[in-house]
Amino acid sequence: MTRLPALIPALVYTAFAAFANPALARPLTEAERAEVMALREGDMRKLVVHEAAIPAPDTVFTDPEGAEMSLADSDGRIRLVNFWATWCAPCRIEKPALDALERDLGGPDFEVIAIATGRNSLEAIEDFNAEVGVTVLATHLDPKGALAAAMNVPGLPVTVILDRDGAEIGRLMGGADWDAASARAIVSYLAGLD
């Protein structure tokens, strides 16, 4: 019972934040959600499309030079945020597909943000990318797993879809072929690239 009074301010703040700026947590309309659900085939059947959008945290991650950034820095685009690691076996298959998706669809309306989570040396990341043929994706680092923890990432790989306002609208746990026709159709639909 003594924890309840401490919990009330947190609940009030969360409710205020969600309703004070509805654009930050605008869910997909029912028609949009149905369209995305209809496009899911193959690996994309694992994609969970949320009924309510979840605001992304402002936890920082870095580039290889140590410059800090947050997911909000790329607001205005649909983003596929992929949490991966050099030791992750499914990531070896998934990351080249993410690279192809960024190469072919990346631009002002869509971006793939691949974030190496945990202990991943720059040398190991460069070797990994060279071995699997990644040439386009930028390197981002979350060395202490702070962003992954803030986004409730329980294991790797995990890919989160953020809307243009920085809210999570979908999540896929485990590896997937992001270069498949279904994945491209979902991204194209969400980013308005049709």
Q: What DSSP string runs through 90-158?
A: HHHHHHHHHHHHHHHH-BTTEEEEEEEESS--HHHHHHHHHHHT--SPPPEEETT-HHHHHTT--SS-E
**SS3 for 67?**
coil
What pLDDT is attached to residue 194? 75
Is there a contact between 157 and 88 (Cβ–Cβ < 8 Å)? yes
C-alpha distances out from residue 127 to 22, 116, 123, Å = 43, 13, 6
What pLDDT is attached to residue 21? 34
Q: Residue 130 is encoded by which pair of tokens?
A: 């060279």
What pLDDT is attached to residue 117? 98
The one-letter amino acid code at 138 reads: A
What pLDDT is attached to residue 23? 35
Neighbours of 25 (CB within 10 A): 20
C-alpha distances out from residue 188 to 32, 95, 172, Å = 13, 19, 17
Burial of 2 (0-12, 13-18, 19+ CB in 10 A): exposed
The residue among 161, 136, 43, 148 whose CA lies nearest residue 85 is 148
> With a cut of 70, which residues of the chain have pLDDT below it?
1-26
What pLDDT is attached to residue 26? 62
pLDDT for 25-60, tens place per residue?
467 999 999 999 999 999 999 999 999 999 999 999
Confidence (pTM): 0.86
